[in-house]
Amino acid sequence: MTRRTCQAIILAAGQGTRMKSRKPKVLHQVAGLSMLGHVTKVASEAGVDLVSLVVGPEMDDVHKEASRIHPSVNAHIQTERLGTAHAVLAARADMIDAKDDILVLFGDTPLLRTETILKMREKLADGNDVVVLGFHSDEPDPYGRLLEQNGKLVAIREGKDCSQEEFKVNFCNGGIMGFAGQHLLTLLDSIDSNNAQGEFYLTDAVEKANEQGLKVLAIEADEAELQGVNNRMQLAKVEATFQYRARVNAMTNGATLTAPETVFFAFDTQIGKDVLIEPNVIFAPGVTVADNAEIRAFSYLEDASVGERCIVGPYARLRPGTILQEGAKIGNFVEIKKSLIEKGAKVNHLSYIGDARIGAKANIGAGTITCNYDGYEKFKTDIGAGAFIGSNTSLVAPATIGDGAFIGAGSVITQPVNADALAVSRSKPVVKDKWAASFRAAKEKKSKR
């Protein structure tokens, strides 16, 4: 497709009333990203130059969310609710110098695909003036029907207004529309509110465009892709659809999910080939997993990079800033935060590693913790290549353990340890023979009084 300019008008003024929430509806999340974020991200990927965001009063957070994802966002406040065409006209200032393509999107349809928007833009580039996105449904009520004649869309009819023949039509209105930019303002200004609701409906643009001799076309998308969200139940349904898609995509691209329905992905999770993912694994945003890695059961990963042939879990937690290099192993009940675990290093069980570097092939014993926080500041721990840290060791940061050093089990390390040195820090044990027997006898005698 030759380069055409494009504007997306995203309607996002919903207050979340039916969500029973103080948060604007479009800021509720699906797979770790707001619904608005999903729509804005797809628009950006489809080559949209300008996002015109229609919001309600005091919805600065909505503007900030869209601006976090797209570099050019103008917010327009809709002060009255007089229908979808009226909402689009809130962005009139951005339409004066119209782009080639103008898309009207909804901030609560997070499953819309980039390829679908690109298809709409292709149809506009082919000379169509209005392109409407629809879907076929076995249960078309309560959706509006897309009425076609000879391959041309002639009207969008609300279900309650359909004739008996029109009522049988199962090609439904998905709400999303594309326009040749040069015609949109004229079409919007021609729409009136002569209807039972007294509102200005964007769907009327289809008949207005036909009256003006413009080319109007409907194209089809999958019904699931056009799901909107008005309440928490619909939000859960959309989340389930996203997760099904993500699981299928991971397996199609070469990953093994032993219990797919128990694995949850974020919007940006990247999984390599020949990756094994066991049951009950959760990927929060920002995770990449390289080829041949294993993510074992009941692990939680967030903003972390897992290298080739790494093993994570079971019951591991990778927190933001974790980087595992090739062949690293993180075992059960281990938490890693903001740390680099270099090639072949092992943190096998019951340990906390935070703000640290673990050198290549180092071995961290069970119960080891990096004491990285003093209540005010965070401090770093650096453990050299090939070092061995004995079980139940506390490394009080800032701490430096040289290459090949050994730390004896149960030590509390507060000073630097040189390469190849042995450090042991323990209190001298006190042993009193037969003390326990005397203690029990005294207690039993007291209890009999």
Measure the CA–CA gap between 116 and 104, rounded to whole angstroms.
13
Pick the CATH number of 232-423 from 3.30.420.40, 2.160.10.10, 3.40.50.80, 2.30.30.30: 2.160.10.10
Question: Which carries the bigger pLDDT value, residue 319 or residue 193?
Answer: 319
pTM for the model: 0.91
pLDDT at 2: 56
Residues making up the binding site for acetyl-CoA: 366, 372-373, 391, 409, 426
260 Rama sector, left if φ>0, alpha if ψ -120 to 50, beta otherwise = alpha
Residue 140 predicted with pLDDT over 90: no
Domain ranges of the chain: 6-226, 232-423
Does residue 349 carry a catalytic annotation?
yes
> What would the CATH number be for the domain defined by 6-226?
3.90.550.10
Q: CATH topology of 6-226 equal to that of 232-423?
A: no
Residue 153 predicted with pLDDT over 90: yes
Kindly report which listed range (130-144, 200-214, 299-313) carries the lowest average pLDDT score. Answer: 130-144
**Could you read off the pLDDT of 285-306 as tens digits, one per residue?**
999 999 999 999 999 999 999 9
Residues making up the binding site for UDP-N-acetyl-alpha-D-glucosamine: 11-14, 25, 78, 83-84, 144, 158, 173, 230, 319, 337, 352, 363
pLDDT at 195: 75
Find the helix or strand (DSSP H, E) in which 155 lies: strand 152-157
Strands 394-396 and 406-407: unpaired
- At 249, list the tokens: 């995509």
**Could you read off the pLDDT of 212-233 as tens digits, one per residue?**
999 999 999 999 999 999 999 9
Number of Cβ within 10 Å of residue 158's Cβ equals: 15
Class of residue 368 by CB neighbours under 10 A (exposed 0-12, middle 13-18, buried 19+): buried
Measure the CA–CA gap between 284 and 282, rounded to whole angstroms.
6
The angle at the Cα of 373, spanning 372 to 378, to the nearest 5 degrees, equals 80
- At 77, list the tokens: 């406040």
CA distances from 313 to 227, 336, 349, 353, 391 (A): 36, 11, 9, 15, 19
What is the pLDDT averaged over residues 56-85? Answer: 94
The angle at the Cα of 230, spanning 229 to 234, to the nearest 5 degrees, equals 55
Q: Please tell me the number of Cα atoms within 13 Å of 288 on its side-chain side.
A: 9
CB 32 within 8 A of CB 284: yes
